[in-house]
Amino acid sequence: MSDVLTLAALTKGYNHGKPSEVTVLQGADLTVQQGEVVALVAPSGAGKSTLLHIAGLLDVPDAGTVTINGTDMTKLSDRKRTAVRRADVGFIYQFHHLLPEFSALENIVLPQLANGVDASKAQAHALDLLDRVGVKPRADHRPAALSGGEQQRVAFCRALANQPSLLLADEPTGNLDPGTSDRVFDALMELVRGTGLSAVIATHNLDLAARMDRTVRLVDGRLT
């Protein structure tokens, strides 16, 4: 089984050289295999969002390497890193961040069009994803007309629109009530398992973490 993501000896700090300097990551290591779902557990402020941003090429480490599908991302130009991020990495946040002026369907079609996918194929793929999470009947509704759980399911579909190999999720159900959170998490796991992609999902919910393949904890800037 191949490794989709490898983080090696990552360090990251802020306000370098100032009295307020903060070191967030101190030699963090993580390997995620193809099809593996990893729970990332850490208290607020411990650096899990920073770790996910670096893993997803939205930020760069002070030291260490990020390898995606066998390629060292730290050696690529910004343009090539952006191309990899668009094609190979999907992001889900605590808040859905859907485009309010577009329908659920359009929110999933647009990222595909930006990647050069034919419009009819993009729409068919978007409808298939919405069907998998039970929101297909609401495809023509704008986000404001959807419930919180429906909005987040659409966000899941958007993250998978370009068929990435790696999904990074930062508290994807943290904005929902417990009952809705469980149902929405079930939908996410069905999507992830159905597509066979790898995922790192940050959560405070230990019950949700226990349903993933393994749990890693971010403690004092290191993953254990």
Query: What pLDDT digit, counting tens, does each position of 129-164 carry?
Result: 998 888 899 999 999 999 888 988 898 899 889 989
Query: What pLDDT, on a 0 to 100 scale, did the predictor assign at position 121?
Result: 94
Instruction: Please tell me the distance from the alpha carbon of residue 5 to that of residue 166, in angstroms, as a whole number.
Output: 8
Binned at pLDDT 50, 70 and 90, residue 1 comes out as low
Overall average pLDDT of the 68-72 stretch: 91
- pTM given for the model: 0.88
Give the model confidence (pLDDT) of 75-114 as tens digits: 888 899 888 888 899 888 877 789 999 999 999 999 999 8
Measured N-to-C along each axis, helices 119-132 and 148-159 cross at an angle, to the nearest 10 degrees, of 130
Instruction: Please tell me the distance from the alpha carbon of residue 160 to that of residue 23, in angstroms, as a whole number.
Output: 32
Q: For residue 117, how many other CB atoms are within 10 A of its CB?
A: 18
Q: For residue 219, how many other CB atoms are within 10 A of its CB?
A: 12
